[in-house]
Structure 1
Amino acid sequence: MSAEINLPLLGDESSSNISPQKEFELGRAWLKAYRSRVNENHDPLLRNYLEKLISKLASKSRLEDRRIELIVINNSTLNAFAVPGGIIGVHTGLFLYAKTEDELASVIAHEIAHLSQRHFARRLNQQKKNRVVSMAGLLASLILAATAGSDAGMAGLSATQTMGMNTALRYSRQNEREADRLGLQTMIASGMNPSAMSSMFEGMLKLSRHASSKIPEFLRSHPLTQDRVVDAKNRINQLKVKNYSDNFEFHLMRARAIIAIKEDPNLSLNYFKNQLSDTGKNKNAAIYGVALSNMAMRNFTTTDKLINKLMKISPNELLYKMAQIESYRNQEKYTTAIEKTLSLLKYDTKSYPLRMSLAETYLKANRFFDSEKILNSLKNSHPNNPEVWFQLAEVRGLSGDIPGVHLARSEYFILIGVFDKARDQLMYARKLLVNDYNKKLLIDQRLKNLEKIEEDIKNL
């Protein structure tokens, strides 16, 4: 990878009027650069859950261009962000602070409002002489938040990028009030509990008062005042009182996010054991967390006992069934795992988590052709998902398709912005396919496309 990420400065005079299409292109270029420096969470279940929630909220918002791309970052801090061009980022730490799906949705609805109102572009137009306000500064700011300023995260950022990071995504109070109002409207239209916005605000305000110098990045970029909390409460108090149900799926996803944050299964096991005193559904989520932690420690007897207990309580819960399948796979009971996954796929043939799970089981069972067939389908339906290309490269390597390995790796490296390595992989494949005229033509075309991608990033 080159020493610097050359993203355009949006603050110069030539970009004083940024079109939605340019925002879209910039956002995708920005995402490639960002991915190369952060610890992305690739849990298919967590990603699928957040994508569904974002889609639900976006469909009821004022956002016109709904080509949204999600990135989930493994980081314990409270943070979510929206980048021009439809990029929404969520730190797994947000699940630590949100106690219900409605609270989580209140933050995401707020970010969607920033996108729909094009707050970043509007601020650039107002401050077009300030070259420090840039997408590059935004990149530096969010890398810092995601990596705690580690050398690995910040390496290669230019002086201009780091100089702009403190101002890049700091919304004005007017922007925040507008996002609050529209976010609240989106929640109501989506059938979600609007009072969750004020409860989330109150929790954040309390956190900011006790955080001293370690104020979460979200609160730095989204200035929260008592006035905003009061304003949100007043708006909510004017609404007709309704009863809202709590989505239990959120609590299971929260357990998965906590396990990812803790990293050490012993730590997550202790955490969930302390939650077992809860009653009702929250206790079941804690049992689920204990089961997954034991699975990570390869304590399969305990794992299976707990999963069976949960399945007796809620026999139709998909996440319990998928946990059971994962346990079978880890115990090398591949035939059973495959049969159960295929049975579930009959009811949801396009399920991303189920298809990824089946591809992994086939790979572990040395059924490389079957695994590759699923991943080839997934690369068509999820072409911008780096994990799909990464897994495809793995299975092609195990099946002996070396040119295919290089081609899949090239797409993976393009998506994470490592263009030098992507070019190397394409050249390796070209040498191996020297006698295949048609594939050589395709590779040559992809090399030209790669040049254009790099040029587009420089000249947007």
Structure 2
Amino acid sequence: MGAKDTTELMPANKRPMHHRCLIVVLGLCLSLTPLHVWSISGDDLPDIGAASGNMFTPAQEKQLGKTFMRYIRATQPVITDPLMDDYINKLGNTLVDHSQGAGSKFTFFLVDSPQVNAYAGPGGYIGVYTGLVLTTESESELAAVLAHEITHVTQKHLQRAWYAASNLSLVQGAALVAAIILGATAGGDAAIAATMGAQAALKQQQINFTRHNEKEADRLGINILHDADFDPHAMPSFFARMGRANKRYGTELPEFLRTHPVTNSRIADSLGRAEKFPYRQRPDSIRYLLLRAHLRERSFDEPSQAVTYFRTLLKEGRYRDESAARYGLSLALLRDDRYQDAAEELNKLIQQRPGTLEFVIAASRTDMEAGNKKKAISHLEQSAHKFPLSYPLQITLAEFYLRAGQADKAYKKLKLLTSLQPENTQTYKLLAQAAATLGNKAESHEYMAMHYYLMGALESSLMQLKIALRVPGLNFYRTARLESQLKKVQSEIDELKKEHDK
């Protein structure tokens, strides 16, 4: 397998039609959730602009966010690498803890795209494109973008924008927010499907964030940065650089600049606010630097090109952090199947920083790919024992158990992980493999159905449920559960087809 991670990389324009049309589900199937029913029916949903002044209830926004995220997974290359996912969520939730959303659930994710973009979705789902991460020049700048998007959520800017645009129903608003993101990134049939789902000819600029929204997000975002011990000046610094890019791009602006317009006045306001705080020079964390190195290594189509790139950096001393550069080199060597060279680099890094997750996991993966399964598992077990709550360590260990023929150990570990992260698609995929190896056919197909459902692949999810129901010897409880799940997925597919045929 080389150094391949578990990222889903299928281009949006090559996905099946039911993927590209899933936006309709946002408009019509908002009351359908993974394996349980939302208590509010579509007919009972209030208008966003209702006379009562109500927008979303917490339950509605939570459900809207889950449906939105399934759509995003179906149409965009969301990265599922556990180390990357762990880092961006820890950074994001550190900022949330110092915001008005403290105590609320937020989910951060990376989209594998060179675009410079980030967006806030309903329910606290915040996406950041890898191109933006590589554009930042410090961890504080990345934190500034996240703090800005967090504020869009906590201040309900999207909901306010819908209210200003029209008296949209909750259903229309759900389709519309996805249409904005989809139309900006996918194009083609997917954008058409999004417009159909919205059932309105509203233009994107009608609900883009207003200048007031942006200034408020800047103001509160800068406060978050200060309270979380990041550099408040990073926000005006990053936006000033985006402003200079604005002039270079002309009419072909990155999506981030379209939805977050950068003006001289806005830069001046944010700079003035940042200057109220004392200057703070915060060093970048090693995990931020390693994330950038990993993303840079992935950006090369051929691993040999990445090897040359990082070797040149190290030879000429053109790096911000030598450990990060050597980590990038080790990943490139691993992807190029040069296991001994990769192991030598990683062993040096572990001696310098023995507790760094990225180094430990990369070294163990090198051993696994080289055929040293016992050594790979032994090292991971030692680290997993020290850090029992580390999701990257635990899911990687479960994966290695499976590859080493220890499905029983993998199964027990993965069952626990599903309770800790019930929306993690890769956990269900591995759990399906473990159950199949153990001979639990119906359970295996049920878990695979959940994986496909969370990925927005409704037809594939339905097929897995049908196969599970044909397994002989099912007890009454499992049969009833599978039939309930099948009915739910079938209803979503029927609604999607009905809207698509209009």
Q: Which residue of 2 aligns with 1:8?
A: 27
Closer/same/farther in 2, CA of residues 290 and 157 from structure 1, 3 Å limit:
same
**Distance in 1 between residues matched to 2:48 and 2:168, nearest whole Å:** 12
Please name the residue that 2:402 is paired with: 363
Matches of 1:329 and 1:358, distance apart in 2 = 11
What's the CA shift for 1:324?
0.8
- CA-to-partner distance for each residue in 1:149-177, whole Å, 9 max, x for gaps? 366x5574444549556337621111000
User: Which residue of the partner structure matches residue 288 of structure 1?
Assistant: 327
Instruction: Give % identity.
Output: 27
Query: Is the partner of 1:72 in helix, strand or coil?
Result: strand
Distance 1:320 1:96 in 2: 21
**Runs of 5+ consecutive residues of structure 1 not aligned to the other structure:** none
Q: Alpha carbons of 1:29 and 1:316: their partners in 2 closer, same or farther (altered >3 Å)? A: closer
- 1:431 and 2:464 equivalent? no
Q: Secondary structure at the match of 2:359?
A: helix
2:110–2:127 Cα contact (<8 Å) kept: yes
Residue ranges of structure 2 left out of the alignment (5+ in a row): 1-17, 31-44
- Compute the displacement of 1:46 (Å): 0.4
The aligned residue for residue 193 of structure 1 is: 231
Task: Give, as a single letter, the amino acid of the residue that structure 1 aligns with 2:23.
Answer: I
More moved, 325-334 vs 388-397: 388-397
Aligned equivalents of 1:328, 1:304: Cα separation in 2: 8
Q: Deviations over 1:180-221 (max 9, x none)?
A: 000000111111111111221122112222123432111111
In structure 2, what is the equivalent of residue 257 of structure 1?
A: 295
Secondary structure in 1 matching 2:47:
helix
Aligned to 2:413: 374
TM-score, normalisation: structure 2: 0.83
Deviation at 1:310, TM superposition (A): 2.0
Shift of the 187–381 alpha-carbon distance from structure 1 to 2, 3 Å rule, reads same
Q: Any idea what SS the aligned residue of 2:243 has?
A: helix
Alignment of structure 1 residues 270-309 onto 2, 5 Å: 270-276=308-314, 277-278=316-317, 282-309=321-348
Relative distance call for 1:105 and 1:456 in structure 2 (3 A) is farther
Deviation of the 1:263 alpha carbon: 4.5
Checking the alignment, whether the CA contact within 8 Å between 2:144 and 2:234 is kept in structure 1 is yes
Alignment correspondent of 1:337: 376
- The alpha carbon displacement at 1:424 in A equals 2.6
Matched residues in 1 for 2:277 and 2:303: separation? 44
Deviations 1:212-271 (A, max 9, x none): 343211111101111111111112222223342321220001112223343432343344
Deviation, structure 1 residue 62: 0.9
Deviation at 1:116, TM superposition (A): 0.5
Q: Which segment drifts farther, 257-266 or 375-384?
A: 257-266
Q: Is the 8 A contact 1:433 1:440 kept in 2?
A: no
The letter for the 1-side match of 2:436 is G
State how far apart, in whole Å, the 1-side matches of 2:252 and 2:195 are.
25
Normalised to the residue count of structure 1, the TM-score between the two structures is: 0.90
Aligned partners of 1:137, 1:400: CA distance in 2, in Å? 44
Counterparts of 2:238 and 2:317, CA distance in 1:
21
58, 71, 75: which one aligns with 2:109: 71
Could you tell which deviates more after superposition, 303-312 or 290-299? Answer: 303-312
Match of 2:141 in 1: 103
Match of 2:56 in 1: 19
State whether residues 84 and 121 of structure 1, in contact with CA within 8 Å, keep that contact through their aligned partners in structure 2: no
Q: Distance in 1 between matches of 2:178 and 2:317?
A: 40
Q: Which amino acid aligns with 1:350?
A: L
1:143 offset after TM fit, Å?
2.7
Letter paired with 2:465: L
CA distance in 1, matches of 2:332, 2:381: 26
Deviation (angstroms), 1:292: 0.3
- TM-aligned CA deviation for residue 416 of structure 1: 2.2
1:70 partner SS: strand
2:274 and 2:423 mapped to 1: Cα distance? 39
